[in-house]
């Protein structure tokens, strides 16, 4: 998929890594034991509900993959948008991959996902970047390949596929999407880096391009021809 892949840890490991859930449930249980009035039980019940919601947000929600989170965001786009998922791009001997291609009168959006935890740092011209992970016990640093090179390659293939069909001068925007929490990219790259929760709003803010209306169906057809699995 992308250069950096995050293996989904079992849910049990998530609870072991961060024992905050034990404190939340412990406080809620203790409250039930200490109260002796109706109001007290109501307060304890509210505290328990809030604890469960917090546990869900901290642990259970993370089991949803980044791809699923983005897909959920795109489902609320209106019918003016065409969303292609898991697109294997190929032109001549060049191959690339796009997690999502979103097409509308606003342009063509090449959506690339980077699913990781921690911070990635590097300059756009560098061959290798650094991935830093901070856990409760340690800080680990790893050298990774520059992820932007992968995304620029898929961008170039999309441009060439359209150009060979005499479609030029239309906006093509590559966007890197990362998780809402626990992920950060620090770089001088001009490729926008957007959190999942902001991707739909980010795309929607673009203005419609007049030249896109007449060729929209053709652009969609060209991109659909690249779909291998959706």
pLDDT band, very low/low/confident/very high, at 229 (cuts 50, 70, 90): very low
Token pair 């959706």 is found at 230
pLDDT at res. 111: 97
Q: Determine, yes or no, domain membership for 230.
A: no
CA–CA gap between residue 215 and residue 213 (Å, rounded) = 6
Question: Are 34 and 142 in the same domain?
Answer: no
Average pLDDT, the chain: 84
**pLDDT score recorded for residue 138:** 80
Q: How far apart are CA 21 and CA 59, in angstroms?
A: 9
Q: Looking at the 3D structure of the chain, how many domains does it have?
A: 2
CB 142 within 8 A of CB 208: no
| Cβ–Cβ under 8 Å, residues 107 and 209 | yes
Whether residues 58 and 71 share a domain: the answer is: no
Q: Are residues 80 and 97 in the same domain?
A: yes
Residue, of 133 and 61, whose pLDDT is higher:
133
> Strands 183-187, 118-122: parallel, antiparallel or unpaired by DSSP?
parallel
Q: Based on the fold, state whether residues 160 and 70 are members of the same structural domain.
A: yes
Whether residue 105 is found in the same domain as residue 130: yes
Residue 229 is assigned to a structural domain of this protein: no
For residues 191 and 205, what is the distance between their CA atoms, to the nearest angstrom?
16
Helices and strands, counts by H and E, the chain: 8, 9
Is residue 175 within 8 Å of residue 199, measured between CB atoms? yes
Task: List the structure tokens of 50.
Answer: 């809030």
Which structural domain, as residue segments, surrounds residue 53? 11-63
94 and 49 housed in the same domain: no
Is 146 domain-assigned? Answer: yes
- Statement to judge: residues 48 and 126 lie in one domain: no
99, 19: one domain: no
Q: Are residues 28 and 109 in the same domain?
A: no
20-44, pLDDT tens digit by residue? Answer: 667 677 777 777 777 778 877 788 7
Read off the pLDDT of residues 144-197 as tens digits, 9 standing for 90 and up.
999 999 999 999 999 999 999 999 889 999 999 998 777 899 999 999 999 999
């Amino acid at each position: 998929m992308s250069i950096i892949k995050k293996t989904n840890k079992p849910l049990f490991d998530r609870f072991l890594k961060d024992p905050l859930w034990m404190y939340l449930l412990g406080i809620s249980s203790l409250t039930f034991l200490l109260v002796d009035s109706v109001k007290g039980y109501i307060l304890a019940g509210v505290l328990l509900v809030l604890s469960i919601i917090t546990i869900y947000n901290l642990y259970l929600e993370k089991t949803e993959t980044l791809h699923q989170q983005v897909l959920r965001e795109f489902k609320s786009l209106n019918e003016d948008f065409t969303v292609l998922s898991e697109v294997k791009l190929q032109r001549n001997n060049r191959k690339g991959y796009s997690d999502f291609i979103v097409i509308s009168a606003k342009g063509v959006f090449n959506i690339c996902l980077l699913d990781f935890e921690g911070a990635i740092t590097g300059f756009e011209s560098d061959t290798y970047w650094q991935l830093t992970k901070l856990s409760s016990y340690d800080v680990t640093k790893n050298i990774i390949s520059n992820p932007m090179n992968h995304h620029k390659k898929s961008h170039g293939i999309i441009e060439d596929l359209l150009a060979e069909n005499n479609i030029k001068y239309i906006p093509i925007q590559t966007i890197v999407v990362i998780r809402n929490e626990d992920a950060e990219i620090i770089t001088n790259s001009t490729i926008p880096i957007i959190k999942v929760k902001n991707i739909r709003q980010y795309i929607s803010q673009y203005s419609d391009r007049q030249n896109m209306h007449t060729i929209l169906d053709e652009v969609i057809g060209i991109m659909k021809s690249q779909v291998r699995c959706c």
